[in-house]
Structure 1
Amino acid sequence: MRYQPSRLLLAVPLALTLLIPTTAAQAERPEPASLTAVETVAAMQPGWNLGNTLDSMCCGEDETSWGNPMVTEELMEGIRDQGFNSIRIPVSWSYNTGPAPDYTIEPQVLDRVEEVVQMALDEDMYVMINIHHDSWQWLHEMPTDHDNVLARFDSIWSQVADRFKDYPPELVFESINEPFFEGASGPEQENELIAELNASFHEIVRGSGGGNEDRLLVLPTLHTSSDQDHLDALAAEIEALDDPMLAATTHNYSYWPFSVNIAGKTTYDEEVQGYLEGDFARLHDTFVSKGIPMIIGEFGLLNGGFVAVEYGEAMKFFEHFGYLARTNDITTMFWDNGQYFDRKEFDWQVEGLYDYLSESWTNRSGTAESDLLFVDPSEAGADQAITLNPNGLQFKSLYHGDRKLKPGRDYVVEGDTLTLKASLVDLLLGDGAPGTREQLSVRYSDGVPWTLNVIASDTPVLEDATGTTDAFAIPTEYNGDMVATLEATYEDGTGAGPHDWTVYKEYGVAYDPDYANGVFKLTPTFFDAVTDGAAVNLTVHFRSGKTVAYTVTKNGTAVTGTA
């Protein structure tokens, strides 16, 4: 994954035991030297990325330059204790190589990479290292500077291959991260260039001797994309190389409009699910079904804090992702740049995320149409219904804290519809003050219980406001509700603001709800793309389904807003 400062298992019984994150299962792993490529990749499931660390070493700074602590043996032990069987260690070499023609890697950098690799191997994990951010720092210039780029690429891999040639087969090499090429004549040339790099990488490593003669090598598609044309191109490369110890790799950050919340994609709906299912089907049909192991080397959501993507909708994605990986025999490596697993306290920073990740390695979990059930004061005394998504499981019970609720009296389940009785809702929400929230636990026959937040909410109120294009905040009474998306149009109905191909703006880029301070902010980025003097009609869509209309007008740097 590119850093922004702002931001297969085949049906082998042995491989299946490797999915279970227990000491016993890990201890049963066979000697790597005896494993095929398919078995090796199966043994790597599940995997984790040490993101924004060895790929952050730049300009004399060390691996802490992007905010993460130094890697320690305790961190590696902590990751292993979470049940991860492999670790991808992205490494950027750009600022740590000497001039042409040798491009000598600074000894202390290569030594540190080796030290971190050894820490992971000592914890009995598979390790994958690569050339990482170099893809956008210099390697993308290959169409216009072919010979120099290829020479630098070859030199780096020659040095890395030589340093690690006597390392055990648990060490895996990945040729390049997210390759792309600027100035290419088109996709045909781009695929020719990545094929040339992959072939050169393959020749260098295999020719370096030692354990590199049959070490697992991982080759990416162009852009690490799962588009069929890129998959076909890589499949042809692998066939031409005729090497049984090769694997393919792509990345997956879900359907982009959902992953960043733009174009009105605020939920993990059928379209978003279909995108993911299609992705996995293509990977399976192109590679796995033909005996070529497949690794999704990075996966996650681009909005890592689960704000733009609502928490429950994000958990649906991770649950479904793990299920599809397991049923399509694909190994996955979770992208973590320090946002998720706390590298100092060695625990998870997003409550529940690890539960869904780890459970998906072996089981499904049931969900529901939402984890938010908003109750308007006008609905006091009424039953409340929500649709369950059992995902092949059976509804078992409903809890409020430690109290098991009684069917018939507190709730009714008919088919996949859970209806909370009015008496229960009134008891939960008390006087119904906006923002009052109680949690119920929907328990299925297996998997992670689904948390249902029952929330008292009234229609939000946005007030008139004045400000500037650099600082415009609308005083807002959210009344217990949450923003889903923002619609912005001119009088003729065309889209206003950035990304004018859609009337629905990107969460956190064009607008930013600030619940703690009771304001709704429109960003400078939004106003930069607004026509001066034109009225922009806003519709703020809330998670409850309610909408509120508002109008803003920009005159120079001055902005006025009216409800």
Structure 2
Amino acid sequence: MHGPKIRFALIILCSIAAAPTWAGNRQRAHEMSARLDCGINLGNALEAYHEGQWGLSLRSEHFDIIRKAGFRSVRVPIRWSSHAQPTPPYTIDPRFLARIDWVVAQALAHDLLVIIDTHNDDMIHKSPQMHTERFLAYWRQVASRYRSAPDTVLFEILNEPHGNLTSAAWNRLIDRTLKLIRETNPSRMVIVGSAEWNGFQQLDNLEIPETDDNLIVTFHYYSPGTFTHQGAPWVPGSSAWLGTSWGSADDHKAVESDFVQVKAWAVRHDRPVLLGEFGAYEKGDPRSRVAWTRAVSSAARRSGFSRMYWDFATNFSLYDVQQNRWRTDLLDAVRADASK
């Protein structure tokens, strides 16, 4: 790794000393959500089976680059299952946990809020009942490890629940996971979204405890998929979408209409909202990608949602690691109306 080695314990102690005192009510969650804006996902690094396999290994300078560009938060997708025992007690490899410590410490050292996000847990999506205890074992270890971390470290229970993890099954898992996390982190800010890939259409089916004020609700936005995922090799049939453009009046109206729905839900439930992922795959034409990104980012900002772009430096990227430079047109679109 490049850059100075930073001791996680020191970062934790210093950050706790500097942390503000909160009233412990719903307002705190709204304020913390606002602090997340504007953020970026460190995608395709630690949620790969092994870091570097999907094109990105995190380095100290990445955090410096991100902060200097005006970003205030990072979301860290993590695949625990590739680094844990396959049988009880499902112990996570201490070396991998130390790597996560390093990432968290780097974020804190660069004045970035950081989201620890369980990502790409394929087994829980396929067989929720069979894998619930394993899933909870991961969170028991993570929650205990970061119990003394500053409030600028947030937890996200699970990225994009889908498959057999239906709304009903997902709501049950949310309940059990939150209770477990609250045993050691009673006031930790936790992020949770709806089933069906964190789609906003399922928000009305999301069940979260009314008495837990320390929650931020997330949704992901990649609509229309025929534009944002054209040519994406992991999406069956996406090669047929190549050449799809975006930017008509109807295209803009569709974004506005979707975000009006999310805003209405947020107001009814008095919950802060994080647009946890949005982006357009690299195969789209550059002008349309910029137009879509600006429209989505601006709509989120006007709606009062915090924003985190997908992703930093791989196939949706804002930053070209080969040329060591930002893609400034996309970067400006992501940061639309953001205060630094």
5+ residue gaps in structure 1? 1-29, 185-189, 363-563
Do 2:161 and 2:198's aligned partners in 1 also have CA atoms closer than 8 Å? no
- Looking at structure 2, the residues matched to 359 and 192 of structure 1 have their Cα atoms a distance apart, in angstroms, of 37
Do 1:37 and 1:246's aligned partners in 2 also have CA atoms closer than 8 Å? yes
Do 1:78 and 1:346's aligned partners in 2 also have CA atoms closer than 8 Å? no
Residue 206 of structure 1, aligned match among 168, 178, 182 = 182
Alignment of 1:286-435 (within 5 A): 286-288=265-267, 290-301=269-280, 303-304=281-282, 308-336=283-311, 337-338=313-314, 339-343=317-321, 346-348=324-326, 350-361=327-338
Amino acid at match of 1:153: F
1:128 and 2:120 aligned: no
Amino acid at match of 1:316: A
1:284 and 2:263 aligned: yes
Alignment of 1:97-116 (within 5 A): 97-116=84-103
Relative distance call for 1:116 and 1:97 in structure 2 (3 A) is: same
Do 2:242 and 2:284's aligned partners in 1 also have CA atoms closer than 8 Å? no
- Partner residue of 1:215? 188
- Looking at structure 1, the residues matched to 94 and 198 of structure 2 have their Cα atoms a distance apart, in angstroms, of 34
CA drift at 1:168: 0.3
Q: Over residues 373-404 of structure 1, what are the superposed CA-to-partner deviations in whole Å (9 max), with x where a residue is unaligned?
A: xxxxxxxxxxxxxxxxxxxxxxxxxxxxxxxx
TM-score (norm 1): 0.52
SS of match in other structure, 1:138:
helix
Alignment of 1:11-50 (within 5 A): 31-34=19-22, 36-50=28-42
CA drift at 1:257: 2.3
SS of match in other structure, 2:335:
helix
- Looking at structure 1, the residues matched to 337 and 284 of structure 2 have their Cα atoms a distance apart, in angstroms, of 20
Relative distance call for 1:139 and 1:97 in structure 2 (3 A) is: same
Deviation above 6 Å: which 4+ runs of structure 1? Answer: none
Amino acid at match of 1:206: R
SS of match in other structure, 2:192:
strand
CA drift at 1:247: 1.0
CA drift at 1:253: 1.4
Do 1:254 and 1:272's aligned partners in 2 also have CA atoms closer than 8 Å? no
The structure in which a higher percent of residues are helix is 2
- Partner residue of 2:172? 196
CA RMSD of aligned residues (A): 2.2
CA drift at 1:282: 1.4
- Partner residue of 1:68? 56
- Looking at structure 1, the residues matched to 277 and 268 of structure 2 have their Cα atoms a distance apart, in angstroms, of 21
SS of match in other structure, 1:287:
helix
- Looking at structure 2, the residues matched to 39 and 123 of structure 1 have their Cα atoms a distance apart, in angstroms, of 20
Specify which structure has the bigger relative contact order, considering alpha-carbon pairs within 8 angstroms and separated by 6 or more residues: 2
CA drift at 1:323: 1.6
CA drift at 1:312: 1.8
CA drift at 1:213: 1.2
Q: Whose radius of gyration is greater, 1 or 2? A: 1
Do 2:170 and 2:195's aligned partners in 1 also have CA atoms closer than 8 Å? yes
Amino acid at match of 1:122: A
- Looking at structure 2, the residues matched to 156 and 80 of structure 1 have their Cα atoms a distance apart, in angstroms, of 30
- Partner residue of 2:215? 246
- Looking at structure 1, the residues matched to 248 and 63 of structure 2 have their Cα atoms a distance apart, in angstroms, of 36
Amino acid at match of 1:220: G
Do 2:298 and 2:336's aligned partners in 1 also have CA atoms closer than 8 Å? no
Amino acid at match of 2:228: S
- Looking at structure 2, the residues matched to 121 and 281 of structure 1 have their Cα atoms a distance apart, in angstroms, of 34
- Partner residue of 2:64? 77
TM-score (norm 2): 0.84
SS of match in other structure, 2:325:
coil
CA drift at 1:80: 0.6
Bigger mean CA deviation after superposition, 310-319 or 255-264:
255-264
- Partner residue of 1:149? 131
1:166 and 2:152 aligned: no
Identity of aligned residues (%): 30
CA drift at 1:356: 2.2
CA drift at 1:154: 0.5
CA drift at 1:231: 0.5
CA drift at 1:297: 0.9
The structure in which a higher percent of residues are strand is 1
CA drift at 1:279: 1.9
- Looking at structure 2, the residues matched to 88 and 253 of structure 1 have their Cα atoms a distance apart, in angstroms, of 17
1:232 and 2:204 aligned: yes
Relative distance call for 1:271 and 1:225 in structure 2 (3 A) is: farther
1:177 and 2:159 aligned: yes
Residue 267 of structure 1, aligned match among 242, 246, 249 = 246
Residue 106 of structure 2, aligned match among 100, 119, 128 = 119
Do 2:115 and 2:154's aligned partners in 1 also have CA atoms closer than 8 Å? yes
- Looking at structure 2, the residues matched to 94 and 129 of structure 1 have their Cα atoms a distance apart, in angstroms, of 15
Number of residue pairs the alignment of both structures matches:
306
Do 1:226 and 1:283's aligned partners in 2 also have CA atoms closer than 8 Å? no
5+ residue gaps in structure 2? 1-17, 231-240
1:52 and 2:44 aligned: yes
- Looking at structure 2, the residues matched to 345 and 120 of structure 1 have their Cα atoms a distance apart, in angstroms, of 23
